[in-house]
Amino acid sequence: MRSLRLLLLLVLSLGIGVGLKFYWDYRELHPTTDDAYVQAHIVDIAARVSGPVVAVHVAENDYVEAGAALFDIDPSVFQATVDSADANYEMAAQDTGADDAEVGVARSNVTEREVTLARARRNLERATALGESNLISEAEYDNAKATFAEVTAALESARADLRRAQSKLGVKGAQNARQRAAQAALTAAQLELSFTRVVAPVAGWVSNISLREGAMIIAERSQFSIVEDKHWWVEANFKETDLHHIRPGQMAVIKLDMYPDLELTGAVESLGAGSGAVFSLLPPENATGNWVKVTQRFPIRISIDPRVDDLANERPLRVGASATVAVNLDQ
């Protein structure tokens, strides 16, 4: 009887040893952590212009598609700016037309002076020929010479006026500098007017919103957030002693605390280059005299495979949800 009890004890001890060995091997091949949380991209929503809110189109936890209207800012001031810029553009176009007309007048004056100069040159040539034959008086010759000089000077003045008018006009049409400047100002005003309607940059869930009609908002200041629904992952913080065999591409099993019966699959995407303590607000000072060795944890990003278990989205993922992750080192 005593030998039978010893045999049973031996068999039981052997079984426990084998079980512990298998458990140890499983833990070595499947490092696990419950310091893991569901993550997604969170987009802060801010207006690009300042002003009072006249309409809010969403509420907390609403799902919005990309491009959906979120809220509107009073557009009256920006519409007035557009109207002013549009008027300035029209005036610039009118000024360009007037400058073009001045160029035409200046060109006509040059043509007229050229004709007058040609006539004065012929008169001077005749007067020179007659003067050599003593057929006209010296006063008449001097008068013809003076007239030619006056007309030459008038032509140079007309050409200078033409160059000045052409310089003032610049390039004709839509490429004119003043018209392009006015067009740019109009475009900027129209853009600012369009910014009075804030739309969703991505599809997702509206979160942390307290915006109300009548509130005065400041440009580029975040008003609320949208949790994007396109890409989800788990940030699992493994002990540094578990990292020596973990590599990108290895399969992982994910369990969420909020859905105990749900098991998701994924894969290791990347391993963090630094421990969480390094990037904390107050990193540890290990060189001090009261140093205590603590096993560090490193963040590992685990992708989540596309789900087919919840096509109706009755059990959606939520940012910050606690998870347990086990990596399969056999893969």
Rounded CA separation 299/296 (Å): 10
The whole-number pLDDT of residue 274 equals 87
CA 70 to each of CA 48, 187, 230: distance values in angstroms, whole numbers, following the listed order: 13, 23, 19
Q: Which residues of the chain have pLDDT under 70?
A: 1-2, 4-30, 93-106, 110, 112, 117, 120, 123-138, 140-142, 144, 148, 158, 161-162, 165-176, 289, 331
Question: Using an 8 Å Cβ cutoff, are 217 and 47 in contact?
Answer: yes
The whole-number pLDDT of residue 141 equals 62
The whole-number pLDDT of residue 216 equals 94
CA-based torsion, 210, 215, 221, 227: positive or negative: positive
Q: What is the pLDDT of residues 139-192, one digit of tens each?
A: 766 676 777 677 777 777 767 766 776 666 555 555 567 777 888 889 999 999
The correct answer on CATH 2.40.30.170 for the domain covering 31-72+204-327 is yes
The whole-number pLDDT of residue 149 equals 74
pTM for this predicted structure:
0.68
Write down the residue that tokens 């001097």 correspond to: 142
Rounded CA separation 247/2 (Å): 52
Nearest to 163 by CA among 240, 204, 109: 109
CA 254 to each of CA 77, 87, 223, 232, 297: distance values in angstroms, whole numbers, following the listed order: 53, 63, 33, 12, 18
